[in-house]
Amino acid sequence: ALLAESGGGLVQAGDSLRLSCLSTGGTFSRYAMAWFRQAPGKERDLVVVIRQSGDITYLIDSVKGRFTISRDNAKNTVYLQMNNLRPEDTAVYYCAADTSFRGAYYRGTYHYSRNDFDSWGQGTQVTVSS
């Protein structure tokens, strides 16, 4: 699958943005999709995953209640609605797909790491000024 993000930009603290990620090729509805982010000089962190079933897992506590992931299988698109943005949310945001079904199931839920995702977009910059 080829992934292309859009929707990033420069905003002020407290503003909102909606990121989109369009998937072409492959079978989008079969894939777990995720959003990662990478701040300057830091690791690329997994932010949130939405599985094929629609189950959602947030991996970063600070975004819970502010960020919402969703998917539209008819449009082959996954979204990240980001509200009440903070300067610490500044990063390049990447969408990714688990096209090889690598997510591990244990303790009653699926678990993902960066290595489970094998298709990546080019990233979109989100900058939040204070």
Condensed to tens digits (0 to 9), the pLDDT of residues 7-39 reads 999 999 999 999 999 999 989 999 999 999 999
Q: Give the pLDDT confidence score for residue 106 in this predicted structure.
A: 87
pLDDT tens-digit readout, 41-69: 999 999 999 999 999 999 999 999 999 99
- 5 touches 21 (CB < 8 A): yes
Q: Give the pLDDT confidence score for residue 37 in this predicted structure.
A: 98
Rounded to 5 degrees, what are φ and ψ at 29? -65, -15
Structure tokens at 21: 């990620």
